[in-house]
Amino acid sequence: MRKRVFSGIQPTGQLHLGVYYGAMKNWVRLQDTYDCIYCIVDQHAQTVEYDPTVLQQRTLEAACLYIASGLDPQKCILFVQSHVKEHTELTWYLSTIASLGQLERMTQFKDKTEQHGSSNLALLAYPVLMAADILLYKAAAVPVGEDQSQHLELTRDLAQRFNHRFGQVFVEPETLLTRGKRIIGLDNQGKMSKSKPEHTSIAMVDPPDVVWAKLRPAVTDPARKRRTDPGDPNKCPIGLLHFAASSQQDIDWVIKGCTTAEIGCIDCKKQLAVNIEAEMGPIRERYSELCARPDEVWAVLKDGADRARAVATSVIDEVRDVMGIKSPV
Binding site for ligand TRP (CB under 6 A): 6-10, 41, 44, 130, 133-134, 142, 144, 148, 151
**Which of the residues 3, 75, 194, 235 is marked catalytic?**
194
Contact segment (CB under 6 A) with ligand AMP among 79-87, 88-96, 178-186, 214-222 equals: 178-186
User: Which of the listed partners (ligand AMP, ligand TRP, none) does 67 bind, with a CB threshold of 5 to 8 Å by partner kind?
Assistant: none
Q: Taking Cα atoms as reference points, which of 140, 138, 182 lies closest to residue 33?
A: 140
Nearest residue to ligand AMP, scored by beta-carbon proximity: 22
Contact segment (CB under 6 A) with ligand AMP among 29-37, 65-73, 128-136, 177-185 equals: 177-185
Nearer to ligand TRP, 44 or 224 (CB): 44
User: Which of the listed partners (ligand AMP, ligand TRP, none) does 22 bind, with a CB threshold of 5 to 8 Å by partner kind?
Assistant: ligand AMP
The least CB distance from residue 193 to ligand AMP, in Å, is: 6
Residues β-bridged to residue 141: 5, 174
Residues β-bridged to residue 16: 203
Q: Is 112 a catalytic residue?
A: yes
User: Which of the listed partners (ligand AMP, ligand TRP, none) does 133 bind, with a CB threshold of 5 to 8 Å by partner kind?
Assistant: ligand TRP
Phi/psi of residue 175, nearest 5 degrees: -95, 130
User: Which of the listed partners (ligand TRP, ligand AMP, none) does 18 bind, with a CB threshold of 5 to 8 Å by partner kind?
Assistant: ligand AMP
Q: Is 138 a catalytic residue?
A: no
Three-state helix/strand/coil letters over the chain: CCCEEEEEECCCCCCEHHHHHHHHHHHHHHCCCCEEEEEECCCHHHHCCCCHHHHHHHHHHHHHHHHHCCCCCCCCEEEEHHHCCHHHHHHHHHHCCCCHHHHHCCHHHHHHHHHHCCCCHHHHHHHHHHHHHHHCCCCCEEECCHHHHHHHHHHHHHHHHHHHHHCCCCCCCEEECCCCCCCECCCCCCECCCCCCHHHCCECCCCHHHHHHHHCCCCCCCCCCCCCCCCCHHHCHHHHHHHHHCCHHHHHHHHHHHHCCCCCHHHHHHHHHHHHHHHHHHHHHHHHHHHCCHHHHHHHHHHHHHHHHHHHHHHHHHHHHHHCCCCCC
Count of Cβ atoms closer than 10 Å to residue 90 Cβ = 24
The Cα 183–Cα 87 span in angstroms is 30
The least CB distance from residue 329 to ligand AMP, in Å, is: 41
The Cα 308–Cα 77 span in angstroms is 7
Q: Is 235 a catalytic residue?
A: no
**Which of the residues 75, 112, 196, 235 is marked catalytic?**
112
Nearest residue to ligand TRP, scored by beta-carbon proximity: 8
User: Which of the listed partners (ligand AMP, ligand TRP, none) does 134 bind, with a CB threshold of 5 to 8 Å by partner kind?
Assistant: ligand TRP
User: Which of the listed partners (ligand TRP, ligand AMP, none) does 142 bind, with a CB threshold of 5 to 8 Å by partner kind?
Assistant: ligand TRP
Contact segment (CB under 6 A) with ligand AMP among 141-149, 150-158, 161-169, 308-316 equals: 141-149
Residue of the chain from 18, 73, 127, 257 that contacts ligand AMP (CB under 6 A): 18
What mask, x for binding ligand AMP by CB under 6 A, covers residues 19 to 58?
x--xx-----------------------------------
The least CB distance from residue 18 to ligand AMP, in Å, is: 3
User: Which residues would be at the binding site for ligand AMP (CB under 6 A)?
Assistant: 9-10, 18-19, 22-23, 144-145, 147-148, 180-183, 191-192
Active-site residues: which are they? 112, 191, 194
